[in-house]
Amino acid sequence: MNFFLELIAPLENYDFSNFFHNLVLALPASFLVGVIIFFLLLAFKKLQSREYRLYISIAFILVIAVTSSLYNIGVKTGTLFAVYTEWLHLIVRWTHIIFGVAWIGTSFYFNWLDSRLERDDPDFKHLDGYLWSVHSGGFYRIEKLKGPPEKLPKVLHWFKWEAYATWISGFVLLILVYYFNASSMMLKNDGFTLTPGIAILISISLLIGSWFIYDFICKNIEENKQELLVTIGFILFVFLSYFLTKIYGSRAAYIHVGAIIGTIMAANVFRVIIPAQKNLVSSAENKQKPNLQLSIDAKNRSIHNNYFTLPVLFIMISSHFSFTYGAVNNWLILVVLSLAGILTRHYFNLRNKKQYKVWILPSAALIMFFLMIFSSLSIFDNDKKQISASLELVSFNEVQNIIKYRCGTCHAKNPTFEGIEEAPKGVIYDSANDIIKNLKLIQAQAIDAEIMPPNNLTGITNQEREKLRIWIEQGANINN
């Protein structure tokens, strides 16, 4: 047992016997909490099964007992909170991506399916359409009825929990990453001056308010004026992107644009699409005529969600590409990249309907290309500068001090910045070798994009960034 524990947690002189002693002492109280949870779970219809409730209660008992034991042997509450939060962050982010893939996958599939149905077969006039496909070693035949069946099947599959779970996990992520760290992750160091509380209040207000504005516009623009709806929507998107980058830090601004679009998408499912489907089912059960307008509205909102997907997916991965959110005109990059994504989605939606607008995809690619060129002009300009233009020789001692006090408070084996228990992404700058190993990262994030430190929390100056740049151009010598 000790060998296994030392293998997964290789710590010298760790007193496992003391830990297990405290674990045994914590079990009775933890068991009592587990019993309470076992009966509380009866309130949830989906958890009526005794087996489900038993396993969930056992999991809670173990989590509470282990946590209590760690606290009793001297692990600080702050340390426990930091570790648990990081792992919760990982699990929620993983869950968010899984549900997001499932939701977007069904959105793409059903839009493709509806466009590919065979509707002109004279032998199947009783159907709205059908489709043959082959997958996973078998043939599938899918039919779309013109109306409800005479008798509803016992099992009817709904597609809603992917959307709900994606939004819920995304909102939890927003809380864990941004609301809990509002002062460092949401606020700007220049421009608008907000308190963390006001920043969070604006965030929640925008999430809720944006849906009502969008819903109002959709309900008050006639169906034959969809171009007007698209134009108004795009103008509002541009304004929102610009506004958020002026009041929030760059990464927070991008994430909030994505969160707002994701909220609109989930609300479309919850407030429009699912009620329309419930109306269909209820009408079929009661042999009544369904409200077709609800179905039309649901189809339109489903199409809107389909076009929203690519901009949201870009925002989800944007934190890995600092040259986007860290650019001077980051709002414009977000708008143009989203436009390219919408055009790409439009091409494939038309292609599914056998309308081949071949100019759309190359146009989207060219938009991306010229965006890359124009957003990189400052980098190209810096690249033309001659090293000899600077007569100043920057010593490694100066560079190491800049990195130590401006970057190393977080990026160290033992971070000193309040609330940071481990170096972000495992990047440390404790030694000269650490700095050389991460030189490209320093160049990209602290010099070219200027997005590190986040919101310039440590107060790095332009002169210090320039010293780092000159030192790198002079060969990044650690021996001078």
Q: Verify that 298 and 348 share a domain, yes or no.
A: yes
Question: Which residue, 322, 353, 375, sits at the end of a domain?
Answer: 375
Specify whether 297 is located in the same domain as 397.
Answer: no
Residue 189 has pLDDT above 90, yes or no: no
Of 346, 375, 404, the domain-final residue = 375
- What pLDDT is attached to residue 320? 82
Position 33 in a domain: yes
Q: What is the pLDDT of residues 102-142, one digit of tens each?
A: 999 998 999 899 888 998 888 888 888 999 999 988 999 99
Q: Within a domain: residue 87?
A: no
Q: Determine the pLDDT at residue 4.
A: 47
Per the model's pLDDT, the better-predicted residue between 7 and 83 turns out to be 83
23 and 165 together in one domain: no
Pick the residue with more confidence: 450 or 432? 432
Its sign, for the CA torsion 458, 461, 465, 467, is negative
CB-neighbour burial class of residue 71 (10 A; exposed 0-12, middle 13-18, buried 19+):
middle
Residues 171, 278, single domain; the answer is yes
Q: Does residue 154 belong to any structural domain of this protein?
A: no
On whether both 168 and 227 belong to a single domain, the answer is: yes
- Helix, strand, coil share (%) of the chain residues, nearest 5: 70, 5, 25
Tell whether the model's pLDDT for residue 13 goes beyond 70: no
Write down which residue in 350, 375, 400 finishes a domain.
375
Range of the domain at 430: 385-473
Question: Average pLDDT in the 423-435 region?
Answer: 84
Does residue 165 sit within a domain?
Answer: yes
Query: Are both 180 and 55 inside the same structural domain?
Result: no
In a domain, 148, yes or no: no
Question: Is residue 292, in this structure, part of any structural domain at all?
Answer: yes
**Whether residues 222 and 299 fall in one domain:** yes
298 and 391 together in one domain: no
141 inside domain: no
> Are 268 and 416 found together in one domain?
no
In the predicted structure, residue 8 carries a pLDDT above the cut 90: no
> Cα dist. 22→2, 13, 28, 29, 222 in Å?
17, 17, 11, 12, 68
CB 292 within 8 A of CB 226: no
Q: Is position 251 within any domain?
A: yes
* 403, 291: one domain: no
Q: Are residues 400 and 343 in the same domain?
A: no
Total domain count for the chain?
3
- Specify the pLDDT at position 381: 66
Comparing 390 with 66, which gets the higher pLDDT? 66
* Same domain assignment for residues 168 and 298: yes
Q: Decide which of 389 and 291 is more confident.
A: 291
pLDDT at 389: 45
Contacts by 21-28, CB closer than 8 A, 24 or more apart: 22/68, 22/69, 22/72, 22/73, 23/65, 23/66, 23/69, 25/69, 25/72, 26/64, 26/65, 26/68, 26/69, 26/72, 27/61, 27/65
The pTM of the full predicted model, rounded to 2 decimals, is 0.80
Average pLDDT over residues 406-433: 81
